[in-house]
Amino acid sequence: MTIASSSGLNDKDIERMLAESEQYAEQDKARRLVIEEANRADSVCTDTEKGEFLFRFFLDILTRLSAMNEFKDQLDATEKDKVTKLVGELRELAAKGQSADPSVDAETIKQKIDETQQASLGLFQKVRL
C-alpha cells in the first residue's frame, strides 16, 4: 500500500490504515484464493457439461449407426450419474465461494475440482474407445 504525503491524512490515520491493511492481509489473500478456485470450478463445470452435451450428441449418432450400436453398452450409467452429481456439488461450492460463504475455502474447492475432473476423464476416456 502506498500513501502519498499529499493525501491529506495525518500520521495517526496513516498508521491506523497500515495496521488495518496488515491485520486483514491474510484474510484478503485467503478470500482471493477462494474466489479464484470458485471461478475455476465454474469453468470446469461448464467444460464438463459441454463435454456431456457433445457426448450425448455423439452417442445419439452412434446409436443410429447399427455397426457401432454395441459401443453404447460400454458406457457405465453409474459413472455418468457420478459425474453429473459431482458437477452439481462443484457448482454449489463455486457459488458459495463466490458469495463469500465462510464455510468454503480454496483447498476444498480445489479438491472437488480434482475429483470432478478425474471422474469426468474416466467417463470420457471410455467413450473414445
Q: Delineate the domains of the chain, giving CATH numbers in brackets.
A: 9-127 (1.20.1270.10)
CA–CA dist 116, 21 (Å, integer): 36
CA–CA dist 93, 35 (Å, integer): 11
3-state SS, residue 52: helix
pTM (predicted TM-score): 0.58
CB 112 within 8 A of CB 41: yes
Using the predicted structure, report yes or no on whether residue 115 has a pLDDT greater than 80: yes
Segment 38-85, tens digit of pLDDT: 998 888 888 777 766 555 544 554 454 433 344 455 557 787 788 888
